[in-house]
Amino acid sequence: MQQISADVVIIGSGAGGGTVAKELAPLCRDGVRTVVLEAGPRLRDDEFTGREFEMARTLYVDGGGFLTEDKSMTLAFGRAYGGSTVVYTGTSLTVTEPAIRRWGVPGLAHDDVLRRSRKYLGENHVHLLDVADLNDNNRLFADGCRTLGYRVEQFPLNLKGCTGAGVCNLGCPTGAKMGTHRVQLPEAERQGVTVVTNCTADRIEERAVVATVRAHTHGEPSAWQPGEYRISAKAVVVAGGAVGSPALLLRSRLSASLPALGRYFTCHPALILVAQHERPITNYAGHPKSYYCDHFADSDGFLLETCMYFPFTTAKSLTGFGADHSRMMSAMDRLQMILVLAIDPPEPDNRVLVDRAGRPVVRYAFTEQVRQSLVRAMRASARIFFAAGAARVHAPASSRFFIEASEAGRIDDLIPTSGLTLGKVAIASAHPMGGCRMGSDAATSVTDAWGQVHGVPWLFAADASLFPRCAEINPYITIMALADRVAERVRGRLPDLRASTP
């Protein structure tokens, strides 16, 4: 095992790890050695092909189909230089004041999160797309919402030079998405931070990380040769996401007692509804996610977003099989899609565990509240589709494959609560949160309001695992804001940590 000495080791290079790396990078001038360990590859520009199978397999853990323990839901999270920021759609919302109030973290004020969020909105070139570049799939959603009196807003997006390739979730083939792989990590490297790709953090020991570098199969070779490493550090920052970070801490031998570690996992459980129009529409050309509707967030606990997925992802999201399924899939250029997301409560028994081999296991039970939210969201989505002129709608929990426009008045009957059968209906999540939640009580939280793990002064978390409850919005800007706070704390503590390290 090779021995490496560093000052700061950051595990993960996504919204959290990439932000911390960039914020600490100026310290390189003073001799501070910062290393980022990233499990995924660093693809060359020409390797972003937009091909569904190839990109999903390369850029996501388990190809985007990480199954929960009871196999009722799949989780999609990235594994690449840039983490999940390589495979999101770039939607850049700031967390609301009520959401931060509900988090209830002493010492964490909305003003502070908002100020830091705005810093990253600027850094990531966030803006609204020109409406002339919005496709029919998005416009029809907005039209349908407005016809029904539902509040609908355009997503701010972190794009620069977007040509509308439409495959954001497979990694942008034109490099237009301003994730950490385009903004924060290159800047950190320019200042002297080392990013080690294809490197899995196996466990954390006392002021050290044990990690393995694998031979590369895609992209650039890793900065380090394949093999096992023990990297000693003054400070360790875990930013491997809400599944990876708790799992890493669980398989490490930490001296502190952390009863809340892995618990209170939330994820905005989501479903896709698909409608068919009688004529072709523009849908997979152009940015896929331009509008959202939070009209029902407070009253019914769900959000609606436009989306446009790829053939396989679309096919697996439909319930059923055979002739009807094929009929829906036979003309992708006539499909309109809506993603529904439930605002799920933090439950101590919804948690990340590790199996005997140390691999993460996510145990998640759907509360009645979440089930009701998903059903109401499907009904609202069906109304939006029909208000936008769709000929027929497929709702995954419907009692029949198609709901025809002539049946629009019977939506509540045709999408019964009982139709949401787990294991039959495709439920997925791309917003894993919690597991290392912030708070002041070590019995119910894992870190303080600045991301320091309770009882371990040299160990920090800086990703969505910090969220005490779900964000109620697409989370990446909030992750960056929290990571900015963590970086500030690490920077402030580093002189003491360096002095106290044996």
Partner 1 sequence: MASLSSPQQALLRSLAARIVPAAAALGTAEQAEMMHLIAEALSDRTPEVRRQFAAFLTLVRWAPAARYGRPFDALAPERQDAVLRYLQDCPVQLLRAGFWGVRTLILMGFYARPAAGATFGYTPVLDGNAVIHAADQR
Question: Do 486 and 460 contact (CB within 8 A), yes or no?
Answer: yes
Nearer to partner 1, 215 or 443 (CB): 215
Site membership for partner 1, residue 167 (CB under 8 A): yes
Q: Find the binding residues for partner 1 in span 19-38 (CB under 8 A).
A: none
Options 280, 416, 492, 495; binder of partner 1; rule CB under 8 A: 280
Does 316 engage in binding with partner 1 (CB under 8 A)?
yes
Pairing mode, if any, of strands 302-306 and 335-342?
antiparallel
Pure H helices in 217-268: 241-250
Q: What angle do CA 225, 250, 268 make, to 5 degrees?
A: 100
- Of 147, 154, 174, 367, the one binding partner 1 (CB under 8 A) is 174
CB of 167 to partner 1, least distance (A): 7
Q: How far is the CB of 333 from partner 1 (least distance, A)?
A: 4
Which of 226, 259, 348, 423 binds partner 1 (CB under 8 A)? It is 423
Q: Which of 2, 5, 257, 326 binds partner 1 (CB under 8 A)?
A: 326
Stretch touching partner 1 by CB under 8 A, among 75-83, 167-175, 294-302, 458-466: 167-175
**Chain residues 205-264 in contact with partner 1, contact rule CB under 8 A:** none
The only residue of 212, 282, 372, 444 in contact with partner 1, by rule CB under 8 A:
282
Nearer to partner 1, 39 or 486 (CB): 39
391 binds partner 1 (CB under 8 A): no
Q: Are 462 and 238 in contact (CB under 8 A)?
A: yes
Greatest Cα pair distance in the chain: 75
Both tokens of residue 416? 């019964």
Q: Which is nearer to partner 1, 53 or 227 (CB)?
A: 53
- CA 274 to chain CA centroid, Å, is 22
Task: Provide the minimum distance between the beta carbon of 355 and partner 1 in the complex, in angstroms, as a whole number.
Answer: 9
Q: Residue 3 corresponds to which tokens in the numbers above?
A: 């021995």
Contact segment (CB under 8 A) with partner 1 among 46-54, 202-210, 226-234, 444-452 equals 46-54
- Provide the mask over 356-375, with x wherever binding to partner 1 is found by CB under 8 A and - wherever it is not: ---x----------------
Nearer to partner 1, 105 or 420 (CB): 420
Place of tokens 């310290």: 27
Handedness of CA 412, 416, 422, 426 (dihedral sign): negative
Annotate 393-454 with DSSP letters as a single string: EE-TT-SSS-EEGGGGGGHHHHS-GGG--BTTB--EES--B-SS-B-S-TTT-SB-TTSBBT
How many residues of this chain interact with partner 1, rule: CB under 8 A? 55
Determine contact, residues 332/230, Cβ cutoff 8 Å: no
- Could you say whether residue 134 binds partner 1 (CB under 8 A)? yes
Q: Is 417 in the site for partner 1 (CB under 8 A)?
A: no
Local structure of residue 174 (DSSP, 8 states): T
Under the binding rule (CB under 8 A), the answer on residue 311 touching partner 1 is yes
**Rounded-to-integer distance, Cα 63 and Cα 465, Å:** 21
Residues 66-99, buried b or exposed e (16+ Cβ, 10 A)? bebeeebbbbbbbbbbbbbbbbbbbbbbbbbeeb
423: which 2 tokens? 């294991």
314 near partner 1, judged by CB under 8 A: yes
Of the residues 173, 240, 246, 434, which one makes contact with partner 1 according to CB under 8 A: 173
Using the structure block, give the residue that is written with the tokens 């059968």: 421
Give the residue from 400, 358, 98, 389 showing the smallest Cα distance to 244.
358
C-alpha 43/C-alpha 4 separation (Å) is: 25
Out of 315, 354, 405, 408, which residue is the one contacting partner 1 (CB under 8 A)?
315
272 three-state secondary structure: strand
In the region spanning residues 49 to 78, those forming contacts with partner 1, defined by CB under 8 A, are 50-54, 57, 62-63, 65, 70-72
If binding is defined by CB under 8 A, does position 400 make contact with partner 1?
no
Determine which residue in the list 227, 312, 358, 501 makes contact with partner 1, applying CB under 8 A.
312
Beta bridge partners of 393: 275, 403
440 token code pair? 């002041």
Q: How far is the CB of 369 from partner 1 (least distance, A)?
A: 20
DSSP string, 162-203: ------GGG--TTS-B-STTTTHHHHHHHTT-EEE-SEEEEE
Cβ-based nearer residue to partner 1, 257 or 421: 421
Tell me if 408 contacts partner 1 by CB under 8 A: no
Q: Which is nearer to partner 1, 61 or 239 (CB)?
A: 61
The least distance separating partner 1 from the CB of residue 419, rounded to whole angstroms, comes to: 11
347 binds partner 1 (CB under 8 A): no
Stretch that binds partner 1, among 39-47, 109-117, 313-321, 392-400 (CB under 8 A): 313-321
User: What is the distance between the alpha carbons of residues 253 and 404, in angstroms, rounded to a whole number?
Assistant: 57
Looking only at the bridges linking them, the beta strands covering 34-37 and 194-196 are parallel
Q: Which residues pair with 200 in a beta bridge?
A: 212
- Point out which residues bind partner 1 (CB under 8 A): 50-54, 57, 62-63, 65, 70-72, 132-136, 162-167, 173-174, 280, 282, 284-287, 310-312, 314-316, 320-323, 325-326, 329-334, 359, 421-424, 426
